[in-house]
Amino acid sequence: MSHDTTRLNRERNHFAGHEAIWLFGYGSLIWKAGFPYLERRPAHIHGWVRRFWQGSHDHRGTQAAPGRVATLVREPEAVCHGMAYRITPEVLAPLDVREKNGYLREVTTLCFDDELGGSTQGLVYLAGADNAAYLGEAPLDAIAEQIAASHGPSGPNRDYLVNLAAALRELEVEDEHVFALAARLPPAD
């Protein structure tokens, strides 16, 4: 698979004809929407864990020195909490570009965490183990070291991790992996 998934995603028209689509965000899409949305509600999905196993050559690193960002990894009993956005279909085109480094639009069932509750089908951008930018598992110390050292067009890789950890704390979500990585970052310069 090439690094750039933009074209592949344009063909993944899972909700063609719908006036609005729910999108589940679990990484930068939690703390940096950067796109217009109709509604925003905390939510979770079943069967996935958040892991810093995806390489970032375009946002938080470079081709020569990729950073690490979040993707989802299958774990049948797990629950991954994040933020759901109700968007109009035209919002997907710029999102496809933002998520082009290996992420594919996938359909998921998302369950809302607010007092209204309920569940619905929606989209999630998922970078699977078969994508060209996938870095995979590594010791937490090594991942934290790579994040601390990386920098890309969107800024320091550490900001991605620190902002995600802060957003999860605000949502009162426990995420051992993210918090363990954030705790390993050396102090900022």
Active-site residue (options: 11, 19, 77, 99): 99
For β-strands 21-25 and 119-126, DSSP reports them as parallel
90 is catalytic: no
Q: Which is nearer to ligand SIN, 102 or 144 (CB)?
A: 102
Which of 17/178 has CB closer to ligand SIN?
178
User: Using CB under 6 A as the criterion, which residues of the chain lie in contact with ligand SIN when the complex forms?
Assistant: 25-29, 69-70, 99, 125
Give the integer Cα–Cα distance in Å for 49 and 34: 24
H or E element: which one contains 158? helix 157-170
Q: Any residues with CB less than 8 A from the CB of 108 and at least 6 apart, and which?
A: 24, 45, 121, 122, 123, 124
Q: Cβ of residue 123: shortest distance to ligand SIN, in angstroms? A: 10
- Residue 27 vs 152, nearer CB to ligand SIN: 27
The residue number with the shortest CB distance to ligand SIN is 27
As given in the structure block, the two tokens for residue 21 are 């689509």
Active site residues: 99
